[in-house]
Amino acid sequence: QVQLVESGGGSVQAGGSLRLSCATSTSIFRGTSLAWYRQAPGKQRELVATITISDSTNYANSVKGRFTISRDKSKSTAYLRMNNLTPEDTGVYYCNGVTFRSGRPASLFSWGQGTQVTVSS
């Protein structure tokens, strides 16, 4: 089993903030780029943000300027700081390893349970 445990979700009003955490194994953290995904009801899972081993980051246009992905090497944990949340950000958020070798980001491991984020108007 691959250990990828998400936490930190909750319910907030529009304009609020949340910080999500993704605890990983040391081997995954050191050798794999990481990503946050989300899935809203009735929609497919979508890529939100990625961070490489060298800490290069990319974001979906819908969250650019509001979300920040980072990683803490001492804890083998990735984070997603979400500011100025809107109801459109509602969904289950997942973390996963990601590869770019196919020319576009692709998940590497099985999906965990994710963490629920609910943003009210």
Confidence at 31, pLDDT banded by 50, 70, 90:
confident
What does the pLDDT look like over 76-118, one tens digit per residue?
999 999 999 999 999 999 999 999 888 888 999 999 999 999 9
Which of helix, strand or coil describes residue 89? helix
Alpha-carbon distance of 56 to 61, in angstroms, equals 16
Contact (Cβ atoms closer than 8 angstroms) between residue 69 and residue 57: yes
Alpha-carbon distance of 113 to 53, in angstroms, equals 24
What does the pLDDT look like over 54-84, one tens digit per residue?
999 999 999 999 999 999 989 999 999 999 9
